[in-house]
Amino acid sequence: MTQKIAIQVDDLTVAYNYKPVLWDIDLVIPQGVLMAIVGPNGAGKSTLIKAVLGIIDPIAGSVAIFGKPYKKQRKLVAYVPQKGSVDWDFPTTALDVVMMGTYGSLGWIKRPGQKQKKAALEALEKVDMLSFKSRQISQLSGGQQQRIFLARALVQNASIYFMDEPFQGVDASTEIAIINILKELRKAGKTVVVVHHDLQTVPEYFDWVTFLNVKKIATGAVKDIFNDDNLTKTYGINYKVAVNK
């Protein structure tokens, strides 16, 4: 395969106190894929993303982005946290939240200006939220809040996107809007990694998948490895049999 490697994770191990949450994860993600991370609750899906991004300190392991340590490649990576991880009653507007996506490229102390504002407005337009730009964020619906978070990451203009359950609690029209944007990102050669819960939509939305349950079960192209065998190994039940009972 001639595809470039976007993300390489080696021997990543994370533990809360004594309990291992991620055990010796090796992962190679080629550039330009739209990848789902699936696994049961407590499998360490969010933790994997957070450890890769340095939000959580791993016990061991290393992460390389396009062949260099993550710390040197931060500007190439954007993050969409879980919607519930922040207080939406914070006194600020939708536009202001999206502007935060430009803070990383600005660096310390420098203030955002017209250029940053323009980028933020464009991102709002992409997620179809331009008319809500001055809305206080607590007045937005769950789906709209998720779009705002997505716009904030789009502003970063990164090469790699990590998203933690972007489809959680959003309605059908938002889900379609989000997946279309993700597919557009892939078309533009970006790599997108998504923590995903809905197994039904995996073959439809994604072309790459990683099965995770503390250990890595399998990773690869959806058409090759999204099968009963791996689902059973990951969830501990025969998924299709259990659903069709």
Partner 1 sequence: MSITEYFDLLFTDYTLRNISLGTAVLGIICGMLGSFAVLRKQSLLGDAISHAALPGIAVAFLITGAKDTNILLLGALVSGLIGAFWIRGMISKTHLKSDTALGLILSLFFGFGMMLLTYIQKQPNANQAGLDKYLFGQAATLVTSDVQLMVIVTGIALLVVLLFWKEFKLLLFDQDYTKTLGFNTKFIDILITFFIVLAIVIGLQTVGVVLMSAMLLAPAAAARQWTNTLATMVILAALIGGFSGVFGTAISATQNNLSTGPVIVLVASFFVVVSFVFSPTRGLLFKQIRLLKNRRDLQLKKTLQFMYGIAQTHENIDHPHTIRILNNFQGFTKKSLRKMEQNQWILLNKQQWSLTSKGFAEAQNLFNQQPQHE
Where do contacts with partner 1 occur on this chain (CB under 8 A)? 50, 53-55, 74-75, 77-79, 81, 85-87, 90-93, 96-97, 100, 103-104, 106-112, 134-136, 139, 152
Tell me how many degrees the CA angle 87-88-89 measures, rounded to the nearest 5. 90
Q: Rg of the Cα trace of the chain?
A: 18
Residue (23 or 88) nearer to partner 1, CB:
88
Q: Do the Cβ atoms of 37 and 165 come closer than 8 Å?
A: no
Q: Is 16 helix (H, G, I), strand (E, B) or coil?
A: strand
Least distance from C-beta 106 to partner 1, angstroms?
Answer: 7
Least distance from C-beta 195 to partner 1, angstroms?
Answer: 14
Q: Is 102 helix (H, G, I), strand (E, B) or coil?
A: helix
Least distance from C-beta 116 to partner 1, angstroms?
Answer: 10
Mark 99-127 as b/e (b = at least 16 C-beta within 10 Å).
bebbbeeeeeeeebeeebeebbbebbebb
Residue (91 or 200) nearer to partner 1, CB:
91
Least distance from C-beta 70 to partner 1, angstroms?
Answer: 10
Residue (152 or 196) nearer to partner 1, CB:
152
Query: Which residue, 42, 46, 43, 49, is CA-closest to 27?
Result: 49
Least distance from C-beta 216 to partner 1, angstroms?
Answer: 23
Query: Which residue, 45, 60, 64, is CA-closest to 14?
Result: 60
Residue (46 or 234) nearer to partner 1, CB:
46
Q: Do the Cβ atoms of 161 and 78 come closer than 8 Å?
A: yes
Taking the C-alpha atoms of residue 241 and residue 245, their distance in angstroms, rounded to an integer, is 6
Least distance from C-beta 18 to partner 1, angstroms?
Answer: 12
Residue (24 or 96) nearer to partner 1, CB:
96
Residue (45 or 152) nearer to partner 1, CB:
152
